[in-house]
Structure 1
Amino acid sequence: MFPANFINAERISVANPAASKKRILEEIAGLLATASEELNQGTVFDKLLERERLGSTGLGHGIALPHARVAGVTEARGAFIQLQSGADFDAIDQKPVDLVFGLLVPEEATEEHLQLLAKLATLFSDETFCQRLRKSQDREALLQAFIQQEPIPKSANG
């Protein structure tokens, strides 16, 4: 299961017009920065860009999973962008990306980070799930797609 409050409607963007990798990272950074008052878009963007410089987080099949460990983040947080059209993200298959899930985890959360990335990669390898995300037309429908695919507990006690 994903952590409580991992993703919400406010951190989802539908039919986003971003058309470049830099702009996509700026957009996902802006969404992720709303997860905590201590975060700002510039800091999150810098961390995501730093990670991208190590190698593209474009998984192929239209999916990108930009992610970073950030000081001051106390719990993992996600954000999702459905792009209006595909954009070059230096993906492993060199195909355009149209679904982008951003992930922030605490700086020291190495194991949690890896587990969440693996869970997200598995989720996005499901073609039916991805098609549902591509067809959804509002934030709430996208949020429901994630909730129905992976139950998100209301509290830590479940």
Structure 2
Amino acid sequence: MKMLDFLKKDAILSDLQAQDKKGVIEELVMPLVKTAGVKYEELVKILMERERLGSTGIGGGIGIPHGKLKGLKSLMLNFGRSRKGVDFESIDGRPTHIFFLLITPENSIDIHLKLLAHISRILKNDLFKERLLKAENCEDILNIIRQEEAEA
């Protein structure tokens, strides 16, 4: 399973402006609302409820907010980057810069867990994270992910 099977160019936000966790989630949700026709408020609510269970800021500058949405037809994935970094209540207490937002249909536990594991694994590569942080634009980000997944 590859991220690029689900990540589209119009779902990449290369310069997040939000200053806090809720703002990042709200900003990340916008492209999904446009392309999938899901309700903005419902999606933000699901993601914030998941955050209350424990932060999806996994440390090392990475956040993987995720949730399951009833009635969703297929998995949705997007990417966001904050150049300044955001307090995402990460386990290491450091600012979060790179975000992958994952929304899956309510009953698709297997694909949800597989993609979360894949994203977590690929983001352990510090050079990959550094390249994502330095990328000029959305096309560069897609190419960096494409190259990393080809080598993985």
TM-score, normalised by the number of residues in structure 1: 0.89
Contact residue 90 and residue 96 of structure 2 kept, 8 A: yes
CA distance in 2, matches of 1:134, 1:84: 7
Identity of aligned residues (%): 33
Assess, with a 3 A threshold, how the Cα gap between structure 1 residues 4 and 134 changes in structure 2: closer, same or farther: closer
CA distance in 2, matches of 1:67, 1:16: 18
Match of 2:101 in 1: 102
CA distance in 2, matches of 1:72, 1:124: 30
The CA RMSD over aligned residues, in Å, is 1.4
Code of the aligned partner of 1:131: E
TM-score, normalised by the number of residues in structure 2: 0.92
Match of 1:19 in 2: 19
Runs of 4+ in 1 over 3 A off after TM superposition: none
SS of residue matched to 2:14: strand
Match of 2:91 in 1: 92
Contact residue 83 and residue 133 of structure 2 kept, 8 A: no
CA distance in 1, matches of 2:32, 2:102: 8
Contact residue 12 and residue 80 of structure 2 kept, 8 A: yes
CA distance in 2, matches of 1:5, 1:140: 16
Deviation at 1:35, TM superposition (A): 3.5
CA distance in 2, matches of 1:64, 1:4: 18
Code of the aligned partner of 2:51: E
CA distance in 2, matches of 1:41, 1:150: 30
How do residues 4-153 of structure 1 correspond to structure 2 at under 5 angstroms?
5-37=5-37, 39-150=38-149
Contact residue 3 and residue 115 of structure 2 kept, 8 A: no
Match of 1:154 in 2: none
